Amino acid sequence: MLTVVEKTPVSVEAKPVLRVEGLKAYYQMNYFGVRREVRAVDDVSLTIKRNEIYGIAGESSSGKSSLIKTIAGAITPPLRVVEGSVKFDFGGKELDVYAQRPAMKAARWKHLSYVMQGSMNVLNPVRKVKHAFHDFAFKHMGLSEGEFRAKVESHLQRIGLDPRVLESYPHQLSGGMRQRLTIGLATVCEPEFIIADEPTTALDVLVQQDVLALIKGVQQRMGSSIIFVTHDMTVHAAIADRIGIVYAGRLVEEGLTLDVFQRPQHPYTAHLIASLPRIGDTRKRVALGGKPPNLADPPSGCRFHPRCPLAIDKCKTDNPPLEARNNGRVACWRAGEMEAA
Amino acid sequence: MHFRKLAAAAFAIAAMAMPVAAQDFIAGIPRNEALIIQGPAAQNAEWFNLWAPGGGASTNGNQQLTADTLWWINPEGTGDAAWTNALASDKPVYNDDFTQMTVKLREGIFWSDGVEFTADDVKYTVDTQIAHPGMGWSAPFTVNVESVEVPDRNTVVFNLKAPNSRFHTLFTVRWNAAWIMPKHVFETVDDPLTYAANPPVSLSAYVLHSYDTAGNWVIWKLRDDWQRTSIGMGLDKAPDVKYVVYRNAGNPDARVIEQMNHNLDVINDIAPEGMFTIARDAPDTTAYWFPGFPFAHPDPTLPSVLFNHQVAPFDNKDVRWALALLIDIRSVAMGSYRGAANLAALSTPPTGSAITDYYQPMQEWLANYEVNTGTRTIKPYDPTTAEQIAALVKPQWGDQIPSDPTQLKAMFGEGWWKTDAAAAGELLQKAGFTKNGNQWMKPDGTPFTIKLMVEGDAIPTLARAGTIIAQQWSMEGIQTTVDVAGPTNGQRLGGGDYQAAIYWTVETWGGHPDLSFFLESYHSDFIKPAGEIQPPRNLTRWQDERLDQIIEANRTVGFDDPKVVELGMDYLKLAVEEMPFIPLMAYNKFAPFDTTYWTGYPSAANPYAASGPNWSNLRYMIVALEANATTP
Amino acid sequence: MDGFAKYLVRRFFQFFLVIFLGVSLAFLITNLSPVDPVEQSVALMTSFGATDPRSVELMRQALQELYGLQGTILDQYVSFWGRVLRGDFGPSLSAFPTPVMSLIMSALPWTIGLLTLALVLTWTLGNLLGALAGYYRSNLLLKLSGAAIMALHPVPAYIIGLVLLLALGFIWPVLPISGGAQMNLQPGFTFDYIRSLILHGTLPALTLVLVGIGGWFISMRSLVSNIVTDDHVVYAELGGVNSGKIFSQYVARNALLPQLTGLALSLGNVFGGAVITEFLFNYPGVGRLLIQGIYRGDYSLVLGVTTMSIISVAVAVFIIDLLYPLIDPRVRLG
Amino acid sequence: MTALLELSDVNKDYRIGGFLDRSTLHAVKHVSFTLEEEKPEIFTVVGESGSGKTTTARMILGNETPTSGSLRFMGKDIAAIRSRKERLAFMAKVQPIFQNPFEAFNPLTTLDYYLFSTARRFLGLKDKAAVEAATDKSLQHVGLSLAEVRGRYSHELSGGQLQRIAVARALIPGPKLIVADEPVSMVDSSLRMSIVNLFRELRDNLGVSIIYITHDLSTAYYISDRVIIMHKGDVVEAGRAADVLGNPSHEYSRALRNAVLPPDPVIASAIIREKLRAF
Amino acid sequence: MFKILRDLLRYNIEFAIGFILTLGVFLFALAHFWAPLPDTAIYLLPPDMPPSAEYWFGTTSRGQDVLWQMSAAIWNTMLFGLTVTIVSRLLAVAVGMISGYLGGKWDQVLMTINDTMIALPNLPILLLVYFVMRDSMSWPVLAMTAALLGWNYDARLIRSVTLSLRSREFTRHAVFAGMSVPQILVRQHLPYVMPVIFFTAMNNLIWAIGLEVTLSVLGFSDINRPTIGGMIYWANQHQAIIAGIWWWMAFPIIAVVLLFLGLFLLAISVNEYIDPRSRLSRMGA
């Protein structure tokens, strides 16, 4: 097996484009006296460098969606940021998502765009596509109407869409076209940072690769950074430069994609990778037992311990910190043993 | 942005609205030349044919201002003064057996289109209607008239099929009558039933000026040749009222508001409280029938408690008398009219000539009248009712209430029956009823309950009277519920589809003692079996041989024969004895007049015309009104 | 057959079926009414005059014949449909022989004018305020106006009208309280006449607006509160699209679509008139005509108005069904 | 050998479109295959959305009737089932597993309601204890117990658990055939394999045949005995799973096979780079 | 049940206000059973008395205490309104759910009936029915008639909800779990339809009371029975507004407005409580 690590060059000096520090975001609900606190994002710190694709992997209700919503500043009550900060760096200017809201609003789409899950519904169903481009992007471009239209058309052409889609209504387009369109919409202003939430999940298999290639291509051309959420490990394998594994609201492992796949340091990651089926292999996969944790009432200590085959007593009481290890970071008391195994 | 636009629009609307008070109320017509009268909401606003079904009995001025016929009776008048020869130059002349009536007509009367009125018009009126069943007076003409002769242009001779001493009343206006048709107009018409007569040709002093196709108003204008009409001939100067406006002024509240805003000179009817409001808030610009309380004009109709004699136990006169004795008339007067009621113990309206012809002469008889309760006899009549009511209303009206009993009787009636629950109980026991606790049981052992029907909406005072009577009966052990019949009221009364009701079944000329106006239809020949519709009189279906005899005798005496009053008294005595229905009071109408522009309205002191715009003889009021000199 | 044509045929069939059933039901109920137009006319013609009972009998027969009320209910039903198909409801029985159609036609412009105006105003205002209140939920002014509208909502139309009549016709008498236009004013496109129409229409229109606004307000507010959480609205907010545009183009526009159906239905109902308001302000419209017809047992008239109303509602629903795909690009007929 | 399920030349057309663009969609075209009663197997239908695989499943379940062709279950035409009694008898033998376990259970109803209802209706049990025993036995097959499920709502359990409860419920009447429409696509990958493994056990231990509808070639390869690949209503390729998926011959099957990203960053990123170059 | 009430009262300010308003008006209306005088009795008190210490809300021109009249009127009117609302809700739910779930011929027949009813103008039909029934017209009959006219629009709404529920997987699952149609409709679908029912009930109640008032204003009311419309009817007959007896109409209307605000607040908070989405988040989904 060739180990061609064709990493996109990352300048060490360059300041990271996103710095998330000690972020805690909880759903705080009070329904008729039933008070609930769901710790969807619990003490997450991460940085994303310029010109990289950072994948966040995790299962449903692991908090991965809440994490990027919080990063995007797209949270509505009852989800609230309890602690920590999210800071972008656009062209040397630092922007705190939660402290500088007006500036943040002005930066949207110009510097920061968003590809939402479920492209089916993100476009206004009663307006033609061209209006969406106009509403989102026109004011950032400083172009005349005609120039703007030409720019949008050429941008769409570049991502493989017929400019005539601008005259369509969203429901007239196929799922694949719509997803391309939202990617087109998110990239038309050439932002420095793109947040993508499950951009390929709803797509047919045949289209999936194209869309991934599109995202990768656009990113490479513009040199932007992308934070990318999906539960599908093969997608991460395909385009992510680095991966963060989220379990029960916490980042449990982070590392270069290849490292994570080939040498997972956390038992959970190891299991995830091992259980992936592949064509040509009918050996029996062992499923992970137990059930995913309830974030309203998470297990003590390491949140994975009830399902972990390697759990020891310490895991039940003490929460392992996320520590640098082997060119990545991992939060596991038994990371050393894992390595040995 | 939006708010500013909205504000600007609101301001513009307000700017348009402000001058509305300053603007002419009626476009192009000076307010001080116009008399504004409460009219109807007309459905067929473009229809002016008085002789087609639905066309007659109009209250939009058409019959009041353009129609004319042979004679008029003032319902408020007494004696000869009540009678007016209009198109006829004299009273009718009958032959000895009342099979022929001869009428002399006036000369010099012209239709508004310049054609002269002649005897041919009268003959045409009768002949045409006989030829067209469905026209307003077709039926009575067909029943009565054999032929009409016109010996000369000023004389008409009616040959009757059978003796009829009251035939002339068909041409005598109390409220309306057979109006004379313009022969020269209808001759050219294919079908007089579908002819709209728009614009109508007038035989009276006013002519159509303009009207609202939506039916909210009609304006009539004084004829240039107003002198060439029966009413104009008697005037010595041109009437001040140049325009008469009949307008639909809306519900009673709106009418009061409009009068106080001086946009409505003559109101037809409002509730007593509305009247009091006007009297309180606009005393200086309003005139009434009485100068103060009780204000109201008594119409010659007689609201009564009607019993359906075809439904047991109301066929028993003891029961009817018992129910009468359970009524506290003072509460009824207070409840229905706030005391402003003109009470009636006799079965004829206490108005016009009936006071002097019947009520006053019969007081002694009434005072001595005895009722046998089965165990004893009582004298139920109470001549002091007026004083008692005066005492009740005095706290509110103070000095407006005189202390002279004669004056009080003119305001509140001569007297009524005393409440006597004990006697009533005896009468019920006499009729076989028993009392179980506080509940009267019928002879068959079932509880005695009554459904008392009222019209409800159009005649609110009677509904009010109904609820108070129901309460009185209920409290004495006869459970009574009030049933609102609304528009079905007339039919249910006519079809005998009720137990008891508050309505009128007696109407009179008002200005004449003859009772044939209603009495004729009380003959037992016309009574139908239960469930079938009867002519809209004798709604109680009262059947009595003695009554038939009175009616038959009345047919054979002349209209002005003194025997008419004797027969009338016989009827009234019989009605007291039988109590076929319980007469309550006159139908008092609150019809205030605005004096801002006009003065000289009729009143109790000067009853030269009826009060209220529905009456056709309002035309005599209109030509008599004078412009208020103090109005700019 | 082409699918659309097939759909159209089926929809047409249903359209006619609804009208047929509705009108038949109305016919049946009207004919059960015990108010007899002949008796009403007889009563009117005899109530004030000296009446000879023999004549009344004669009169009754003549009218029965004249009004064409003989024959069984089935005969009348058949001939009724025969006439309706020719656009004729026969003569009015209370305003005989004026055709019912011409009575309706003279009342209709008033009703349509007043109600259409009031309805459009109510709809616009109610939806605008409702949408604003649903979108800017923390705005105090909107909260207050919402509370006022909510308080007004359950007040019966008659009371609202009466209060307005008192306030603007009596206490501060700036507006005419009765009728459709100034008396003796020539109808036409003149400034005076139009001003008069507006002045006379203001109170009834205001009543209708105040009565109707609550319903639209409440439904719009709840529609909008649902739509603001839709993905495309959230996405536009994330996209920094300015909030005025989000409100008008993303929120209000989507919420308005179902309200359009309601508007069409209400417009269809216009032909029934606004009974209470017309009654209170003496407005010469269809509602007043209808009440008069009911009072006077004129079931030709009642049936005429009812039939018109049924047809117009059915037409309105039909049209909106056909037009909806054009208004809402998502909808396909099928 | 008797046929458990026999589809012969099944077609299904839909009318679609609206105002101006009405047309007929041939959702399923000429589909034929047979499952033997004596030889339980996992029969997989692979296809993308719009391939007709779900429509086929619905026809097998009797929720749709074919436009032409016939579906026979144990010799009886499924489309001819009319009466409620026949329908219940059919449902006792053929049971579905749905795609989204959170959708398949009403979130406002307790899960045991489904289980008990099934036991009562199909096993004709009246007695509460008997119902519970039957339910518990079935849950044991999927590695759960009634105690774990009783009184629970769907949101209290994970997708994998729910899907296992769904399987347990389907097993209660003792079915011959289970039609599973995308049963793992909404299940987290850590739990996915437990469901897939469960199907194997059902086939091997209980003799239940399973029609596995999926777009996921990897799991299809992992458990299937036979596979058909559908594309726009047509069956483009059919045969043993290892042949069809391991070495597809039809152009479309090959494209589908190539579209599957392997869980290996080196190969996967190479595939994307290749794609990128093609742009 | 008690716990739900306590939770709602404690944690939902809208519910608390609505509850207090509604309960207050309800208790006030209930009090008429202990009124010192029968509610139809007239002229037993001095008429036209303005509000005072003795007569808190004044007396009517018919010599009745407005306070006790109102109390009985609100009771009777609400009884009428609630009867209309409940009966018409039952009809709407039955028709809407059956039509939406069964579809096909059922749907066509029911929706044709529904559309026909939508096209029928309410007031003329009601007035004609009033005439036809005449003295057998009692408030329950009137309520039934109104209910028959008042369900159709909402049935369509409910139908569309059921239609979307029908295609949900849990419905199909329920079928394969052997559930009968009534079981599916009542157990599976009704919780989702409940918010629609509550929401439309408010409008329906307002409509029903408006109808009662309209009929009364036009003169079609049982004048032996105090209702809000009946009070307006009698106040009109005595020209109370013009005569300055404002308390006769003002207090009943204020009471109605308060009651509606109360009911409305209750409806929205209960709706939030029973709404599947909020129920689920409360349960911890």
User: Chain A residues with CB inside 8 Å of E14's CB?
Assistant: none
Q: Which chains have 3+ CB pairs within 8 A of B? A: C, E
Closest residue in A to E275 (Cα) is: A31
Higher pLDDT, B472 or B629: B472
Instruction: Please judge whether C238 and A127 are an interchain contact, meaning their C-beta atoms are less than 8 angstroms apart.
Output: no
Facing residues of B441 across strands? Answer: B434, B447
Structural contact between residues B193 and B134, judged by C-beta atoms closer than 8 angstroms: yes
Judged by average pLDDT, the poorest of B196-200, B386-390, C30-34 is C30-34
Cβ neighbours of C3 in D, within 8 Å: 15, 17, 22
**Closest residue in chain A to residue E13, using alpha carbons only:** A32
What token pair was written down for B508? 């009179």
Least confident of A57-66, A317-326, B594-603, D121-130: A57-66
Which residues have CB under 8 Å from C12's CB, separation 6+?
Answer: none
If DSSP codes are grouped into helix, strand and coil, which group holds residue E220?
coil
Indicate the residue of D96, D105, D120 with minimum beta-carbon distance to E176: D96
Q: Is D6 within 8 Å of D71 (Cβ atoms)?
A: yes
Residue C74, SS3?
Answer: helix
Q: Which residues of C touch A125 (CB under 8 A)?
A: 232, 254, 329-330
Residue B109 reports pLDDT greater than 80 = yes
> From the list C230, C241, C249, which residue is nearest A136 (CB)?
C241
Is the CB of D95 less than 8 angstroms away from the CB of E173? no
Restricting to A residues 155-194, those with a Cβ less than 8 Å away from any Cβ of C are 169, 171-172
Which neighbouring-strand residues pair with C33? none
Q: DSSP letter at C99?
A: B
Q: Domains of chain E (ranges plus CATH)?
A: 2-283 (1.10.3720.10)
Q: Give C49's pLDDT tier (boundaries 50, 70, 90).
A: low
Please, what is the Cα angle at B207 between B205 and B213, to 5 degrees? 150
Q: Which residue in C156, C269, C291 is closest to E210 by CB distance?
A: C156
Write out the residues of chain D at the interface with chain C, using a CB-CB cutoff of 8 A.
15-20, 22
Q: Does an interface of 3+ CB pairs under 8 Å exist between A and D?
A: yes
Question: What is the length of chain D?
Answer: 279
Report residue B28: phi and psi, to 5°. 75, 0
Enumerate the residues of chain C whose CB falls inside 8 A of the CB of residue A114.
235, 238-239
Task: Give the number of other Cβ atoms within 10 Å of residue A107's Cβ.
Answer: 22
Contact by Cβ (8 Å): B416, B343: yes
E216-225 pLDDT, tens digit each:
888 777 777 8
Residue ranges of alpha helices (H) inside A223-334 are 233-239, 257-262, 267-274, 313-317
Tokens of D74: 């144990």
Q: Flag if D100 and E169 touch (Cβ within 8 Å).
A: yes
Beta carbons of E237 and B482 less than 8 Å apart:
no
Q: Which of A168, A171, A228 is nearest to A198 (CA)?
A: A228
Portion 527-546 of B in contact with C at CB < 8 A: 533-537
* Residue D16 backbone dihedrals phi, psi, to 5 degrees: -130, 175
The partner residues of A44 in beta bridges, in order of sequence, read A23
Instruction: Tell me whether strands B439-441 and A53-57 are parallel, antiparallel or unpaired.
Output: unpaired
Q: Considering only CB atoms, which chain E residues are within 8 Å of B334?
A: 43
- Candidates B280, B327, B331, B457: best to mutate against E (most CBs of E within 10 A) is B457
Q: Which chains touch C (3 or more CB pairs under 8 A)?
A: A, B, D, E
Q: Which of D48, D266, D279 to mutate to test the interface with A (most CBs of A within 10 A)?
A: D266
- Side by side, the strands of the sheet bearing B93-94 are B93-94, B100-104, B155-160, B145-152
Give dist(CA A177, CA A156) in Å, integer.
11
Nearest CA in chain D to E181: D84
Looking at residue C324, its pLDDT comes to: 76
Question: In whole angstroms, what separates CA D112 from the centre of its chain?
Answer: 22
Please determine, for residue C44, whether its predicted confidence score (pLDDT) is greater than 80.
Answer: no
User: Residue B436's CB: how many other CB atoms inside 10 A?
Assistant: 11
Low-confidence winner among B429-438, B562-571, C60-69 (lowest mean pLDDT):
C60-69
pLDDT of amino acid B19: 45
Mean predicted lDDT score pLDDT of chain B: 89
Q: How far, in whole angstroms, is CA D98 from its chain's centroid?
A: 7
Residue range A128-137, pLDDT digits in tens:
889 999 999 8
Q: Which residues of E touch A34 (CB under 8 A)?
A: 7, 282
pLDDT tier at B125, thresholds 50, 70, 90: very high
Would you call A34 and E282 a contact, using CB atoms and an 8 Å cutoff? yes
The count of domains in chain D is: 1
Nearest CA in chain A to C328: A126
E170-184 residue pLDDT tens: 999 999 998 999 999
Closest CB to E178: pick one of D108, D109, D118.
D118
Which residues does chain E have within 8 Å of residue C279's beta carbon, measured at their own beta carbons? 217-218
Lookup: tokens for A103 = 């500036």
Overall size of chain A counted in residues: 341
Mean pLDDT over residues B224-238, rounded?
92
Q: Which of C48, C58, C279 sits opposite B57 (nearest CB)?
A: C48
**C82 exposure class (CB count in 10 Å sphere: 0-12, 13-18, 19+):** exposed
Supply the range of the domain harboring residue D90: 3-278
Q: Does residue E140 have a cis bond before it (omega within 30 degrees)? A: no
> Three-state DSSP class for B615?
coil
Which percentage of chain B shows pLDDT scores above 70?
95
Instruction: Specify the pLDDT at position B131.
Output: 92
pLDDT 10s digits, D52-74: 898 999 999 998 899 999 999 99
Task: Say how far apart CA B540 and CA C197 lie, in whole Å.
Answer: 50
> Nearest C-alpha of chain E: how many angstroms from A39?
13
Per-residue pLDDT band for B23 (boundaries 50, 70, 90) equals: low
d(CA D147, CA D160): 17
- pLDDT exceeds cutoff 70 at D108: yes
Q: How far apart are CA C4 and CA D178, in angstroms?
A: 39
E11·A30 Cβ contact <8 A: yes
Q: For position D121, which CATH number holds?
A: 3.40.50.300
pLDDT value at position B256?
A: 92
Banded pLDDT at B22 (limits 50, 70, 90): very low
Report the predicted TM-score, pTM, of the whole model to 2 decimal places. Answer: 0.86
Mean pLDDT of C187-212: 88
Q: Are strands B155-160 and B206-211 parallel, antiparallel or unpaired?
A: unpaired
Q: Hey, is the C-beta of E105 within 8 angstroms of any chain C C-beta?
A: no
pLDDT in tens, A269-285: 998 888 888 888 888 88
pLDDT of residue A12: 45
Residue B38 pLDDT level (bands cut at 50, 70, 90): very high
pLDDT band at A10 (very low <50, low <70, confident <90, very high): very low
- Write out pLDDT tens, residues C131-165: 999 888 878 888 888 888 888 888 888 889 988 98
Is chain E touching chain A, with at least 3 CB–CB pairs below 8 Å?
Answer: yes
User: Looking at per-residue confidence, does B530 or E82 come out higher?
Assistant: E82
Q: What is the ipTM of this complex?
A: 0.84
* Confidence bin at A126 (pLDDT 50/70/90): confident
Measure the CA–CA gap between D191 and B97, rounded to whole angstroms: 119
A124 vs C250, C257, C328: nearest CB: C250
Between CA B380 and CA B376 the distance in angstroms is 12
- Cβ contact B–D (≥3 pairs, < 8 Å): no
- CA nearest B278 in E: which residue? E243
| Enclosing H/E stretch for B631 | none
* pLDDT for the residue numbered C138: 79
Would you state the pLDDT for residue D43? 95
Q: Which amino acid is at D15?
A: R
Q: How many CB atoms lie within 10 A of CB A202?
A: 16
Contact D155 E174 (CB under 8 A): no
Contact in structure between B233 and B239 (CB atoms under 8 Å): no
CB atoms inside a 10 Å sphere around CB E267: 22
Q: Which of A64-73, A265-274, B133-142, E151-160 has the lowest mean pLDDT?
A: B133-142
- For residue D161, with 0-12 CB atoms within 10 Å meaning exposed, 13-18 middle and 19 or more buried, which class applies? buried
Distance CA D169, CA D119 (A): 8
Query: Over 70: is that where the pLDDT of C204 sits?
Result: yes
Task: Note whether B touches A: 3 CB pairs or more under 8 A.
Answer: no
* Chain D residue closest in CA terms to C325: D19
- Do A267 and A332 form a contact (C-beta atoms < 8 A)? yes
Q: How would residue C320 be classed by pLDDT, with cut points 50, 70 and 90? A: confident
Helices within chain E (DSSP H only): 2-11, 13-30, 66-102, 104-119, 122-133, 139-149, 152-166, 169-176, 181-183, 190-217, 228-237, 240-243, 247-274, 276-283
- Chain D's closest residue to C5, CA to CA, is D19
User: What is the pLDDT, as a whole number, of residue B124?
Assistant: 96
Is C240–A118 a contact, with Cβ atoms under 8 angstroms apart? no
User: Domains in chain A and their CATH numbers?
Assistant: 18-240 (3.40.50.300), 253-337 (no CATH)
Q: Is the pLDDT of residue D177 over 90?
A: yes
Rounded Cα gap, residues C87 and C80, in angstroms: 10
Distance (Å, rounded) from C-alpha A202 to C-alpha A175?
8
**Residue D215 confidence (pLDDT) above 60:** yes
Given an 8 Å threshold on Cβ–Cβ distance, is E120 in contact with C17? no
The answer to whether the Cβ–Cβ distance between C332 and D15 falls below 8 Å is no
**Which residues make beta-bridge pairs with B484?**
B454
**Contact at 8 Å (CB) between E219 and B252?**
no
Q: For chain D, say whether E194 makes contact (Cβ under 8 Å).
A: no
Q: Which of B34, B105, B44 is closest to B69 using CA atoms?
A: B105
Contact D42, D7 (CB under 8 A): no
Per-residue pLDDT at A100: 85
Ramachandran assignment for B579, one of left (phi > 0), alpha (psi -120 to 50 degrees), beta (any other): left
Report d(CA A33, CA A42) in Å as an integer.
24
The pLDDT score that the predictor gives to residue C332 is 54
Nearest to C177 among B28, B45, B257 (CB): B257
Distances (CA, A) of D4 to D1, D91, D202, D210, E119: 9, 14, 16, 11, 54
